Amino acid sequence: MSYRFGHVALFVTDLQAAEAFYQETFGMEVLFREAEGDDGYWYTLPPGKGWEDAEGAGVETGMVALQRDELNLPIFRGKPKFGTVLEIGIAVPTEEIEAISSGLPESATRLPPLGQHHGPGPHIEAELVGGSCDD
């Protein structure tokens, strides 16, 4: 069984400024940008569309996925709270996703519709118990 660290997601108060900071400071590249739909799912903006394009279409970008080498850094618009983690991604082999998913409580698991998830392949989204490193 081969697991690897996938990502840590952060909240930032100014998403566009944070994107520029990570690009300029660490040489990270934008993988994609997403906006949350009214249905609670995240939708990826078309490749090549920037901030002005999204704003012009009335879309509020809520997440930017950045990458450099093997480091993936999703940043989300929001107010960070001390001692909390938004999301941690652990990459596992595709063939293990079903077994892992079956071990999670049904209420904690949300499988995005095919073609509407972000990342390089199939994945599970699950709420963490507690949601805070203080718990």
3-state secondary structure 45-76: CCCCCCHHHHHHCCCCCCEEEEEECCEEEEEE
- Percentage of the chain beyond pLDDT 70 is 63
Give tens-digit pLDDT for 42-89: 899 998 899 999 999 999 999 999 998 878 889 999 887 777 666 666
d(CA 66, CA 58): 23
Q: What is the pTM of this model?
A: 0.65
Domain assignments of the chain as residue spans, ordered by start: 4-126
CA 36-73-56 angle, to 5 degrees, is 40
The architecture (CATH level 2) of 4-126 comes to Roll (3.10)
